[in-house]
Amino acid sequence: MKFCNQCGQPLMQTIPAGDNRLRHVCSHCHRVHYQNPRIVAGCLPVWGEQVLLCRRAIEPRRGYWTLPAGFMENGETIEQAAARETLEEACARVRDLNLYTLFDLPHISQVYMMFRAELVDLDFAVGEESLEVRLFAEEEIPWSELAFPTIGRTLECFFADRRQNLFPVRNEALEALRAHYRPR
C-alpha cells in the first residue's frame, strides 16, 4: 500500500498514538489504513454418509480437491458467505449450517471458518472455480490430493466426530493443525 484511498497522498509506516504496531498512515490526512486477516468461509456439505468435494479449477492448488470455500465479502454474514461459496463452486444449496471448524493461519493472515451443512438435494454441478464436483464416502476421500491442510483436518474431525454423533466446534491454530494433520 503506497497511497491513501481517502485523499491520494503518500502513506508512511508509523505507530499511531495509542497503538502498538506499525500501520500505514496517510502523511496528509492522517487516516490509519488497517490491514486485518481475511476470513475464509466454507461448508462441509453432507448427503447421508457422503461429503461433497470440489476439484479446484483455479490456483492455488489447481486440480486438487477441497471443500467449497472462499473469502467472505463485505455485507454478508459468515454463514451467508459459506452458503454463497458452496453455490458458486458446486452449484449446491445447503441448509442447517453449523459452525464446525475454526482455523487460525497467522502466517498468511487468514482465518478459516467451516460449517457443517446438509445438502438440500442432489442438484449440484461444476461451478466456475471447479473442474469436478462429487460426493465421497469416507473410504473414497482422495486424502493425498486434498488442496489444503485445513480441508484435510476438517474432514478428519468430521469422520471421527460422526462415529460418536457429537460435533463440537473446533478451534485450532496452524501449529496445532500441522501437528495433527498428516495426509494419508
Helix, strand, or coil (residue 151): helix
**Interatomic CA distance for residues 71 and 40, integer angstroms:** 4
Task: Answer yes or no: do 137 and 49 share one domain.
Answer: yes
Task: Answer yes or no: do 8 and 81 share one domain.
Answer: no
Taken in order 38, 173, 163, 55, the sign of the CA dihedral is positive
**Interatomic CA distance for residues 22 and 131, integer angstroms:** 41
Task: Answer yes or no: do 172 and 113 share one domain.
Answer: yes
Task: Answer yes or no: do 27 and 107 share one domain.
Answer: no
Task: Answer yes or no: do 81 and 160 share one domain.
Answer: yes
Task: Answer yes or no: do 139 and 68 share one domain.
Answer: yes
User: What total number of domains does the chain contain?
Assistant: 2
Alpha carbons within 13 A on the beta-carbon side of 19: 13
Structural domain containing residue 2:
1-35
Q: Kindly report, residue by residue over 67-105, the tens digit of the pLDDT.
A: 999 999 999 999 999 999 999 999 999 999 999 999 999
**Interatomic CA distance for residues 175 and 170, integer angstroms:** 14
Query: The whole model's pTM is what?
Result: 0.86
Q: Kindly report, residue by residue over 37-61, the tens digit of the pLDDT.
A: 999 999 999 999 999 999 999 999 9
Residue 8: which CATH number? 2.20.70.10
